[in-house]
């Protein structure tokens, strides 16, 4: 997890422009560098480093002797870099996983490169020999990337939007900043004056398709057919592999643990893998909640079962409310569900950074979308429609849950790893017959639970635990986080303010006082940038006619 930043064709003083790159310093607290591009005085790279792999030679932009014309700035982890290096017999100059991007690009071009990367990534690749700039982002947008581009060819790229909004350019007093789409790469021509022109934007991978890099994967060959026992065996094998490949780090590993199904499966499998790898430090798990919260009790039960060094973080309603401003600034969104669920994750990340040396943090994000964990899936008119909705949610993760997970951890210099969004695990799960994946017997994620039923990884009551969503599970049984927020905001936003909401916020007009309150904070930090959120998190209405407030129902989906 790092922060990347680059400018091409700037007509303002670079030393002034570079101040904007410091807005993402939290993403890389270990070191930073700014570097001009040879022969292009108005182009430069900025990099903030969190040293997770190869602490000695891992600074960026990466440049190697064999390719003096290539410049690479990337944020992410390429889990199969060593397999590809051995297979193609590439000669590495560093131990950095991202170096594989340079070798693959030289061998087969940009499309083959991005399709071969098993991992999460956002990158900027400059080829001065062929006068090209390439941008790319992983399938689900686990690693963030934003860009701004003007009609005259000025290009600015950054891990977070806050690193771009204050840039100056003569032809654009208000620079339009937008997220770079996940699962895409872009090709741009580099002109002699340092400016660029977009050539093509290409979608290189769909979540349903088995990735090209699967050919070079070391996982055992999957058993053919869709018999239940066959499917369960394949899922266990792929999930095990998804955890194992993510052990790639020189820093200490920990895990967020809510006591729900997803985080508990990750924690239990991760501890098993760490023992097999003979890692010597105690494995730390982290839970957060208010006094007597359901999540704390369930997480404690899981930690005792697997034998982790467990940390419990308590917070009260005042602390949660006070941190809302910081959370919205970090998130760069005003989506109601996302903000509400981010408070606990932000506070626990702050605790981890301050009180432990765990830096690489595993989590259960992505499972709800992949395995149909939200309760409105019970209302799907058919298994096929449920499958379509699952894919829609996966495509939008970069706007919601993946955004939350990245920003709340990155704000405190932590790197998040999400094994449920492993390319092969996801593509296989989505390839299964739709009727295998739907809720059964009134229970969401039935297939996932059934897959691990005989593994003894978790206590039965945890494996089949009904969901307490993060934003409700962390709070006291006496008073939910949702109710605490409503009671507080009722005194902050008047009925008169709501009456003029459409006039004040014509785009994505807030319909509730909670939404209005978050939007006010967002506009204070990012005025005029409401279009970063294309729409609020919302299930398809056809599935949801009997459930009311969508954000409350997401909070009651299965973990």
- Straight-line distance from the first to the last Cα atom of the chain, in angstroms, rounded to the nearest whole number: 25
2 among known catalytic residues: yes
3-state secondary structure 344-408: HHHHHHHHHHHHCCEEEEECCCCHHHHCCCCHHHHHCCCHHHHHHHHHHHHHCHHHCHHHHHHHH
H helix or E strand, kind and range, residue 488: helix 481-489
Between CA 520 and CA 498 the distance in angstroms is 12
Q: Under a CB-based contact definition with an 8 Å cutoff, are residues 299 and 255 in contact?
A: no
Closest of 540, 543, 522 to residue 162, by C-alpha: 522
- 61 prior amide bond cis, ω within 30: yes
Helix, strand, or coil here: 164?
Answer: coil
CB-based contacts of 40: which residues, under 8 Å, 6+ apart? Answer: 8, 128, 190, 194
**Given the residues 2, 44, 207, 426, the one annotated as active site:** 2
Annotated binding-site residues for ATP read 256, 288, 363-364
Q: For the sheet with 119-127, list strands across it.
A: 62-64, 67-78, 119-127, 132-137, 184-190, 196-203
Closest of 75, 147, 136 to residue 104, by C-alpha: 136
Q: Under a CB-based contact definition with an 8 Å cutoff, are residues 270 and 264 in contact?
A: no
H helix or E strand, kind and range, residue 46: strand 40-49
Neighbour-count burial of 449, counting CB atoms closer than 10 A to its CB (0-12 exposed, 13-18 middle, 19+ buried):
buried
CB-based contacts of 251: which residues, under 8 Å, 6+ apart? Answer: 51, 52, 357, 358, 359, 360, 415
Between CA 548 and CA 50 the distance in angstroms is 43
Largest Cα span, the chain: 68
Annotated binding-site residues for L-glutamine read 97
Between CA 417 and CA 362 the distance in angstroms is 5
Annotated binding-site residues read 97, 256, 288, 363-364
Question: Residue 107: how many CB atoms within 10 A of its CB?
Answer: 13
CB-based contacts of 253: which residues, under 8 Å, 6+ apart? Answer: 247, 270, 274, 279, 283, 358, 360, 361, 362
Between CA 62 and CA 100 the distance in angstroms is 11
Active site (catalytic) residues: 2
């Amino acid at each position: 997890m790092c922060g990347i930043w680059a400018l091409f064709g700037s007509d303002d003083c670079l030393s002034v422009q570079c101040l904007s790159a410091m807005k993402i310093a939290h993403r890389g607290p270990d070191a930073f560098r700014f570097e001009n591009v040879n022969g292009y005085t108005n182009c430069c790279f900025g990099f903030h480093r969190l040293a997770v792999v190869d602490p000695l030679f891992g600074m960026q932009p990466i440049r190697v002797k064999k390719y003096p014309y290539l410049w690479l700035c990337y944020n992410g982890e390429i889990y199969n870099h060593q397999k590809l290096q051995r297979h193609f017999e590439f000669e590495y100059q560093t131990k950095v996983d991202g170096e594989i991007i340079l070798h693959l690009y030289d061998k087969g071009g940009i499309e083959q490169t991005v399709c071969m990367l098993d991992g999460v990534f956002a990158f900027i690749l400059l080829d001065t020999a062929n006068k090209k700039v390439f941008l790319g982002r992983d399938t689900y947008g686990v690693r963030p990337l934003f860009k701004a581009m003007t009609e005259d060819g000025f290009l600015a790229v950054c891990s977070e939007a806050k690193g771009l909004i204050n840039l100056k350019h003569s032809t654009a007093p208000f620079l339009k900043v937008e997220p770079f789409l996940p699962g895409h790469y872009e090709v741009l021509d580099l002109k002699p004056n340092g400016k660029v022109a977009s050539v093509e934007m290409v979608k290189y991978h769909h979540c349903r398709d088995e990735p090209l890099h699967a050919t070079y994967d070391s996982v055992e060959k999957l058993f053919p057919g869709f018999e239940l026992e066959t499917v369960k065996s394949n899922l266990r094998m792929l999930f095990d592999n998804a955890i194992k490949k993510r052990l790639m780090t020189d820093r200490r590993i920990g895990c967020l643990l809510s006591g729900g199904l997803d985080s508990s499966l990750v924690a239990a499998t991760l501890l098993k893998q760490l023992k097999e790898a003979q890692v010597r430090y105690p494995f730390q798990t982290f839970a957060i909640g208010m006094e007597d919260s359901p999540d704390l009790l369930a997480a404690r039960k899981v930690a005792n079962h697997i034998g982790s060094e467990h940390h419990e973080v308590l917070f009260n309603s005042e602390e949660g409310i006070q941190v809302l401003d910081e959370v919205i600034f970090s998130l760069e969104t005003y989506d109601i569900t996302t903000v509400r669920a981010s408070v606990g994750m932000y506070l626990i990340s702050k605790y981890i950074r301050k009180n432990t040396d765990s830096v690489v943090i595993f989590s259960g994000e992505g499972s709800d979308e992949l395995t149909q964990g939200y309760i409105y899936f019970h209302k799907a008119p058919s298994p096929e429609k449920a499958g379509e909705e699952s894919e829609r949610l996966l495509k939008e993760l970069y706007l919601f849950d993946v955004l939350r997970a990245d920003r709340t951890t990155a704000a405190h210099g932590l790197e998040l790893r999400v094994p449920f969004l492993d390319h092969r695990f996801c593509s296989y799960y989505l390839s299964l017959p739709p009727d295998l994946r739907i809720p059964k017997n009134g229970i969401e994620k039935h297939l996932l639970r059934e897959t691990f039923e005989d593994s003894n990884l978790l206590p039965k009551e945890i494996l089949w635990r009904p969901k307490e969503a993060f934003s409700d599970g962390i709070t006291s049984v006496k008073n939910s986080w949702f109710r605490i927020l409503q009671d507080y905001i009722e005194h902050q936003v008047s009925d008169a303010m709501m009456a003029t909401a459409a006039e004040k916020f014509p785009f994505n007009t807030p319909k509730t006082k909670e939404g209005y309150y978050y939007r006010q904070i967002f506009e204070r930090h990012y005025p005029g940038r409401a279009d970063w959120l294309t729409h609020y998190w919302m299930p398809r209405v056809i599935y949801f006619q009997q459930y009311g407030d969508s954000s409350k129902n997401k909070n009651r989906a299965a973990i």
